[in-house]
Structure 1
Amino acid sequence: MQWPETEAEAIALQLELAPRVDCHEPEGFSPRAVAGLDVDYRDDHVAAAVVVLDADSLIEIESATAITPVRFPYIPGLFSFRELPPLLAAIAKLTVTPDLLIADGHGLAHPRRFGLACHLGVVTGIPTIGVAKTPMGGYDAPADTRGATTPLVDKGETVGAALRTQRGVKPVFVSVGHRISLERACAEVLRLAPKYRQPETTRRADRLCRDARATER
């Protein structure tokens, strides 16, 4: 795939790829190896980490990191063009193919319905979920009960869900990336967040990419 060099080229590619997003999981979908992905910025480089966990035990199966130069400027709505290259480089180092990817960012909850999780899923073909800490759209606060959800809405369209993973903490914002339904995405995120606000996949990947940057310096 030719990598865009301008904002106009990146937006055009998003519009071209967005119709490929599939909001249905494969028949018999039962993910076992679940991967969390995150990035950390330092100067003109991006450190990416992928951590693969067993979905039931949350024991680490494998992990990998990659550090690449920043290839695209900071432009809201186009983060995937900065973060995708190192994330794909980290995934390529794995010997295990994940059944599910959990991206630290949005999927369909995006102005052009093609956030980082969608881009990652369409390129890899792996079912992907976006889990963000801040909303892209409006929502009503879900009940203070683990597993409670409310719609995340943008321009009158439901683009995700506010999900309460733990009582007494802010919700996370779940959206479809690729090859999964929103209902199933929320169920998988809840399964991966037994103790904390964020899924364990994201917590481990965040720690690993920060360690990678510290080591590189």
Structure 2
Amino acid sequence: MKPVINHSWDLTEGEALQLQKDLATRVIKENLLDKVKLVAGVDVAYSKESDKLISAVVIIDAETLEVIETVTAEEKEQFPYIPGLFSFRELPSLVKAFAQLKSRPDLIVCDGQGYAHPRRFGLACHLGVIFDVPTIGCGKSRLIGEYQELDIERGAIAPLIDNGEVIGNVLRTQTKINPIYVSVGHRIALTTATEWILKLSTDYRLPETTRKADQTVNLALKTKL
């Protein structure tokens, strides 16, 4: 699986900001996805001893949630940590991981933000646009936006709002457990994205895609670095 948009990762902060603004115009916030049979989760972990990082892509069956395929990739950090430009740090290694896949996911869930971003172009948007695949941003914490307190029951939703615009949904995936933050990545509507995250979060706060990718990348980090 290769990107349909290739751009340099060797960028200055200014160049990255401009590219982010340009690519943000390509984000599609409506459903342009076929029947979803395979869902991928992605995650990246950093070595504490070096400048290396490891990314993982885990594909699961959308109905059974069983793991179909797992790949990892190792890469050096190529971009400094700059708030709002997170994708430029993590995507080079994820692109390497996606190149190893034998299966093509119908939907990708990212452990991070999508449209709920200051420039409306978080990691999930960046990944979705360069691969032209439906993606969802699913963050454990809020980057921007305000919301009203939501009910304590599983499935409760409150819109996440920034400057009068709904940029995502705050979703409680398990009763009396802290909510997560769902936003569009690419080629999917917010309502559909929220439904998928709830469906994938069967027993835990986070969707199975994120949980399995996190487990995979942390195991790889211990054994490879």
Query: Please, what TM-score do these two structures have when normalized by structure 2?
Result: 0.94
Q: Pick one of 131, 144, 147 that aligns with 2:138.
A: 131
CA distance in 2, matches of 1:91, 1:213: 18
Give the alignment of 1:179-194 within 5 angstroms: 179-194=187-202
Give the letter aligned to residue 7 of structure 1. E
Give the alignment of 1:36-185 within 5 angstroms: 36-42=41-47, 43-136=50-143, 137-185=145-193
Q: Pick one of 183, 202, 207 that aligns with 2:210.
A: 202
Give the letter aligned to residue 193 of structure 1. S
Equivalent pair of 1:101/1:126 in contact (CA under 8 Å): yes
> Which ranges of structure 1 fall in alignment gaps of 5 or more residues?
none
SS at match of 2:124: helix
Q: Which runs of 4+ in 1 moved over 6 A?
A: none
Equivalent pair of 1:141/1:162 in contact (CA under 8 Å): no
SS at match of 1:201: helix
Aligned to 1:30: 35
Q: Percent identity of the aligned residues?
A: 50
Give the letter aligned to residue 112 of structure 2. G
Deviations 1:78-110 (A, max 9, x none): 000000011111111110000000000000000
Give the letter aligned to residue 122 of structure 1. V
Pairwise CA distance, 1:4: 4.2
Equivalent pair of 2:9/2:78 in contact (CA under 8 Å): no
CA distance in 1, matches of 2:114, 2:54: 21
Aligned to 1:17: 23
CA distance in 2, matches of 1:150, 1:38: 26
**Which shifted more, 97-106 or 18-27?**
18-27
Equivalent pair of 2:159/2:170 in contact (CA under 8 Å): yes
Query: Please, what TM-score do these two structures have when normalized by structure 1?
Result: 0.97
